[in-house]
């Protein structure tokens, strides 16, 4: 299927729509209007209609969006209709929390490997994974892993990222509070909790 | 000082500029041009100039932005020139990781209290804080705390938020993967790691 160029801001919101439609499915809802959906998500109905229209006009006036097929369609667009394996780098407190974060499975993500450089952590078990030695990170090349999650100190991040770039990694969720230099073939999403919190006092 | 209405997207980027200017200060840099700053942050120079111009044209052509005073100015605008106390709700694995996240202090945040509803956690120490009983959350009213960080399961979040709304909380960093219904007086930033990861396969 061919789609027109979709803005990054719309792509950012698609997982939120997917989660909403998945939840509606478990509630046995057949359809939902853009205004009902807007109320659930704290958004405006026109924004939702515009976002979803990028993927074809699959809502019907007076009826709304069919829940099951819209969920499937969004999942397909986001390539979340297949299991996506991810490697977690960093088995500290934050890494351990991430490894057991229940939300990943609902989007079809599988934390398939965990690496660290701390000898006291290597060999220990976190969830289903045994923590591996970061020196052996290049083994992920043959393990069909194309996503990485970084939960390591900022000053250790860039060398790790350089290694990941050689290992067929195409997307990085970066929780190390720093900007990463990556080749154009790699997409990075950085989350810095302090920066997120940092916007709030302005509005108080 | 009076500023024109500043877009949310610009406010979102301001903590990133603050971090960059703070870092430049520790490197003893006196000034930086928008193109040098753009390279450090992986952004475009015009975007940076536009963002910073909302706060007055404090860069000089050919010289750039003065590092120390720009850092101070941004800090003042974001109200991060005073210590901002935050309450953390949720002392599980993620909460514990957040409590010890080193990035908060650099923005002047102080995790001043931690609450949980789990008797096995109440009374234990995380960093400098002793975990308190969520039943006593209303004690924060008298403790000059106006920010909250939520790291609790999604199905437990809304009742907690309703309680926080009665406790003078004005900003919430929400790590519980759900949309929160709040009064207009409260600003919420929600971070769902699975949703952030969820955008990456689309680009692969």
Q: Which residues contact B187 (CB under 8 A, 6 or more apart)?
A: A200, A203, A204, B170, B171, B172
pLDDT category of residue B41 using cuts at 50, 70 and 90: confident
Of residues B42, B171, B196, nearest to A173 (C-beta): B196
Q: Do A15 and B181 touch (CB under 8 A)?
A: no
**A70 and A147 both lie in a single domain:** no
Of residues A101, A177, A203, nearest to B193 (C-beta): A101
Phi, psi of B19 (to 5 degrees): -60, -40
The residue with greater pLDDT, B42 or B148, is: B148
CB neighbourhood size of B77 (10 A): 20
Q: pLDDT digits over A159-175, tens only? A: 999 999 889 899 999 99
Provide, as residue numbers in chain B, all residues whose Cβ is less than 8 Å from the Cβ of A193. Answer: 98, 101, 103-104, 149, 173, 191
**B73 and B93 both lie in a single domain:** no
pLDDT category of residue A6 using cuts at 50, 70 and 90: confident
Residue B199 has pLDDT above 90, yes or no: yes
Q: pLDDT digits over B164-189, tens only? A: 988 989 999 999 877 788 998 899 99
Q: pLDDT digits over A16-56, tens only? A: 999 999 989 999 999 999 999 998 888 899 999 999 988 76
- Short-list B87, B70, B86, CA closest to B78: B70
Provide, as residue numbers in chain A, all residues whose Cβ is less than 8 Å from the Cβ of B80. Answer: 198, 201
- Closest-CA residue of B relative to A177 is B103
- Residue range(s) defining the domain that contains residue B55: 8-77
CA distance B134 to B132: 6
Look-up: residue for tokens 């061919």?
A2
Q: pLDDT digits over B87-139, tens only? A: 999 999 899 999 988 889 889 999 999 999 999 999 999 999 999 999 999 99
Residue A120 has pLDDT above 60, yes or no: yes
Q: Do B170 and A80 touch (CB under 8 A)?
A: no
Q: Do B173 and A200 touch (CB under 8 A)?
A: yes
CA distance A69 to A143: 32
Q: Do B170 and A19 touch (CB under 8 A)?
A: no
Q: pLDDT digits over A125-181, tens only? A: 999 999 999 999 999 999 999 999 999 988 899 999 999 988 989 999 999 877 788
Q: Do A189 and B202 touch (CB under 8 A)?
A: no
β-pairing, A109-116 with A65-66?
A: unpaired
CA distance B107 to A8: 28
Look-up: residue for tokens 């700053």?
B37
- The token pair that represents B152 in the structure block: 């609790």
Provide, as residue numbers in chain A, all residues whose Cβ is less than 8 Å from the Cβ of B107. Answer: 194-195, 197-198
pLDDT category of residue A2 using cuts at 50, 70 and 90: very low
Q: Do B198 and A15 touch (CB under 8 A)?
A: yes
CB neighbourhood size of A8 (10 A): 10
Q: Do A194 and B84 touch (CB under 8 A)?
A: no
**B95 and B155 both lie in a single domain:** yes
pLDDT category of residue A57 using cuts at 50, 70 and 90: low
pTM listed for this prediction:
0.86
Q: Do A16 and B195 touch (CB under 8 A)?
A: yes
Residue A62 has pLDDT above 80, yes or no: no
Phi, psi of B104 (to 5 degrees): -65, -45
Angle between helices B8-26 and B67-77 (to 10 degrees): 140
Residue A3 has pLDDT above 80, yes or no: no
- Short-list B84, B106, B93, B48, CA closest to B173: B84
pLDDT at A180: 86
Residue B196 CA, chain-centre distance (Å), reads 17
pLDDT category of residue A58 using cuts at 50, 70 and 90: low
Q: How many CB pairs under 8 A join A and B?
A: 185
**A114 and A184 both lie in a single domain:** yes
3 state SS of A154: helix
Q: pLDDT digits over B134-148, tens only? A: 999 999 999 999 999
Q: What angle do CA B74, B16, B161 make, to 5 degrees?
A: 90
Q: Which of B26, B61, B77 is the last residue of a domain?
A: B77
**B154 and B90 both lie in a single domain:** yes
CATH code at position B108: 3.40.50.720
CATH code at position B70: 1.10.10.10
**B53 and B89 both lie in a single domain:** no
pLDDT at A4: 60
Provide, as residue numbers in chain B, all residues whose Cβ is less than 8 Å from the Cβ of A185. Answer: none
- Closest-CA residue of B relative to A23 is B178
pLDDT at A1: 45
What total of structural domains would you count in chain A? 2
- Closest-CA residue of B relative to A100 is B93
**A70 and A130 both lie in a single domain:** no
Q: Do B201 and A147 touch (CB under 8 A)?
A: yes
**A119 and A172 both lie in a single domain:** yes
Percent above pLDDT 90 for chain B: 67
pLDDT at A95: 94
Q: Which of A62, A77, A92 is the last residue of a domain?
A: A77
pLDDT at B133: 97
Residue B56 has pLDDT above 80, yes or no: no
Residue B201 lies in a domain: no
| Burial of residue B26, with CB atoms counted within 10 A of its CB: 0-12 exposed, 13-18 middle, 19 or more buried | exposed
- Closest-CA residue of B relative to A91 is B97
**B188 and B128 both lie in a single domain:** yes
Look-up: residue for tokens 């290597």?
A122
pLDDT at A42: 81
Mutate to test the interface with A, among B43, B76, B85, B201 (most CBs of A within 10 A): B201
Residue A93 has pLDDT above 80, yes or no: yes
**A104 and A191 both lie in a single domain:** yes
Residue B3 lies in a domain: no
């Amino acid at each position: 299927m061919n789609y027109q160029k979709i803005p990054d801001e719309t792509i950012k919101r698609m997982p939120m729509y997917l989660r909403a439609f998945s939840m509606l499915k478990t509630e046995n809802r057949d359809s939902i209007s853009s205004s009902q959906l807007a109320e659930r998500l704290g958004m405006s109905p026109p924004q939702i209609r515009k976002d979803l229209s990028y993927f074809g006009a699959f809502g019907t006036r007076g009826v709304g969006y069919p829940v099951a097929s819209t969920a499937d369609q969004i999942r397909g667009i986001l390539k979340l209709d297949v299991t996506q394996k991810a490697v977690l780098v960093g088995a500290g407190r934050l890494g351990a929390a991430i490894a057991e974060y229940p939300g990943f499975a609902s989007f079809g993500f599988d934390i398939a490997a965990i690496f660290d450089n701390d000898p006291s952590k290597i060999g220990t078990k976190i969830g289903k994974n045994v923590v591996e030695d970061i020196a052996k990170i290049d083994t992920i090349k043959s393990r069909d892993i194309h996503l990485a999650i970084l939960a390591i100190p900022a000053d250790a991040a860039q060398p790790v990222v350089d290694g990941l770039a050689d290992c067929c990694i195409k997307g990085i969720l970066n929780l190390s509070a720093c900007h990463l230099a990556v080749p154009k073939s790699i997409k990075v999403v950085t989350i810095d909790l302090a920066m997120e919190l940092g916007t709030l006092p302005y509005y108080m």
